[in-house]
Structure 1
Amino acid sequence: MPGRPRSRDAAGLPAVTPDRIIDAALELTARHGVESWTLRQLAGAVDAYPAVIYHHVGDRDTVVTAVVDRVIAMYELPPAEMEWRSWWRQFLTNLRLVFMRYPGVARRVALNGPSVEAGGPTVDRAMRTLLRAGFEQDEAAMVCRLLVSQACLFISLEDDQRKASEVKAQISGGWGEPPVDPDLSGLATLSESVHERLADPEKNRDYFAELFDYAVDRVLDGVQVRLDEINRGS
């Protein structure tokens, strides 16, 4: 009949499937961040109506959960037999390298955690490293949550600062100037450090990675102190 909508095959369009929808949502997340694309944009990316997204996957939150699950599947888990601290150091480094490619995912994980299906293998191995090190089950669970949430919060901070890079540069430039009051010696020391970093593009580029590594190491230091107490029977 004249005016009847053509099928996708007749129009030369690929079929809309759940996997294709999640692929498109993953690409939008990499480009714009997980919180910055709309369901209408996603529908446009797969040449379909928003109702088709609902039919195949669900609402936006359901799609985002699927995106987070897909991202979680991308990072590599260190070998289970590694010493607990080395395992966590490597795992969180791998986590950052993947999460920073998909802005906003780290914040979602920090707030809500992963789904059991996606995060189960990671949590299982993470918990076993802590139990083997000497933590009881309840405290191992607390340490696990602490380490993952702190890493994700730092990655989230990096996501936000990269988006506001121009404002950040202006503020950083101000902190790199010597203080007006000569008695502010602590501030002068900080200003000198900021100035040196801003003057060295390579050092400035690595700032986020250095801050992340420093934060992870210091949190691991604290966990090690607690573990030493447990092993001494304190």
Structure 2
Amino acid sequence: MSQSSRRAYRRGLSRELVIDAALALTAERGLDGWSMRDLTSHLDTSLSVIYHHVGDRERVCASVVDRIFTEMDLVIDGSDWRTLLRTVLSAMIEHLVVYPGVAAWLLRNGPQTEQLLPLLDAGVTRMLDAGWGEEAAIAYSFAFNACLGAIALGDQDLGATGAGLAGLGQLIESQPSVGSGAARMRVMVARFTGDVTERAAARRDYCRYTLDRVLGGLEARLREIEDARPAPS
């Protein structure tokens, strides 16, 4: 390709426009549902132009994740560790549903983005200030990973006939003699395999339940740490 052709390919494109396109593909197909070829086709450009403006696919994905967290407009203020975690994780539960696959990407890669590093620093610092000591980083990571896991689970097609929870529901239905425990599970499964609106509501409720239980467990653990400290002499 000549120098003039390369300039023509790059004309009118920018880093922001490349990320815009990748974000749109992520909302439509999920983060793992599009390729760099799909992205170049969407932008009517070449792979070299994508590399020039952003980088390889992992850099594009990291930039998409950064953009998503920018959209959340999170404010890192003087809140304590509990408030910070609840605010950030609640926002993730509401926002990442629009972008399937992002939670799974974060589970695989950790917060390797420019937007998330300051958040990580602030969160772990709040936990150190609260007395978590050597457990500060692992407790912070546990809270994020537990909620990301719940969100990522919701990205799966749990309502597919004969698979996943739908298969479990069919199995329970086929056993009329099951007891109250399986019957209660059937009620839950019905929510996760119902219509689109019901599935979305069930997913959010499950993620919020996970967040509440995680924060409750962390608060109990911090009390144990505080109780185990030697009394001042």
Q: TM-score range by the shorter chain?
A: 0.7 to 0.9
Question: What is the CA-CA distance between 1:228 and the residue it aligns to?
Answer: 0.3
Distance 1:169 1:151 in 2: 20
Distance 2:150 2:189 in 1: 20
Pairing 1:119–2:90 present? no
Question: What is the CA-CA distance between 1:200 and the residue it aligns to?
Answer: 9.7
Find the residue that maps to 1:93 and give its secondary structure.
Answer: helix
Distance 1:202 1:31 in 2: 18
Question: What is the CA-CA distance between 1:97 and the residue it aligns to?
Answer: 1.9
Structure 1 residues 79-88 or 221-230, which shifts more? 79-88
Distance 2:194 2:16 in 1: 46
Which amino acid is the alignment partner of residue 81 of structure 1? G
Distance 1:198 1:51 in 2: 43
- CA change 1:175–1:18 in 2 (3 A) is same
Describe how 1:165-184 pairs up with structure 2 within 5 A: 165-167=159-161, 170-171=166-167, 173-174=169-170, 177=173, 179-181=175-177, 184=179
Query: Aligned to 1:46, which of 31, 43, 61?
Result: 43
Pairing 1:150–2:136 present? no
- CA change 1:170–1:37 in 2 (3 A) is same
Distance 2:184 2:144 in 1: 32
Structure 1 residues 50-59 or 72-81, which shifts more? 72-81
Structure 2 length normalisation: TM-score?
0.81
- CA change 1:176–1:26 in 2 (3 A) is same
Structure 1 residues 51-60 or 167-176, which shifts more? 167-176
Describe how 1:1-234 pairs up with structure 2 within 5 A: 8=8, 15-77=12-74, 80-115=77-112, 117-136=114-133, 138-161=134-157, 165-167=159-161, 170-171=166-167, 173-174=169-170, 177=173, 179-181=175-177, 184-192=179-187, 194=189, 205-233=200-228
Contact 1:176 1:193 (C-alpha < 8 Å) held by counterparts: no
Q: Deviations over 1:21-74 (max 9, x none)?
A: 111111111111111111111111111122322233222222112212222222
- CA change 1:126–1:46 in 2 (3 A) is same
Contact 1:176 1:191 (C-alpha < 8 Å) held by counterparts: yes
Distance 1:61 1:110 in 2: 14
Which amino acid is the alignment partner of residue 25 of structure 1? A
- CA change 1:170–1:17 in 2 (3 A) is same
Structure 1 length normalisation: TM-score?
0.81
Question: What is the CA-CA distance between 1:190 and the residue it aligns to?
Answer: 2.8
Find the residue that maps to 2:99 and give its secondary structure.
Answer: coil
Which amino acid is the alignment partner of residue 226 of structure 2? N
- CA change 1:42–1:76 in 2 (3 A) is same
Question: What is the CA-CA distance between 1:198 and the residue it aligns to?
Answer: 7.2
5+ residue gaps, structure 2: none
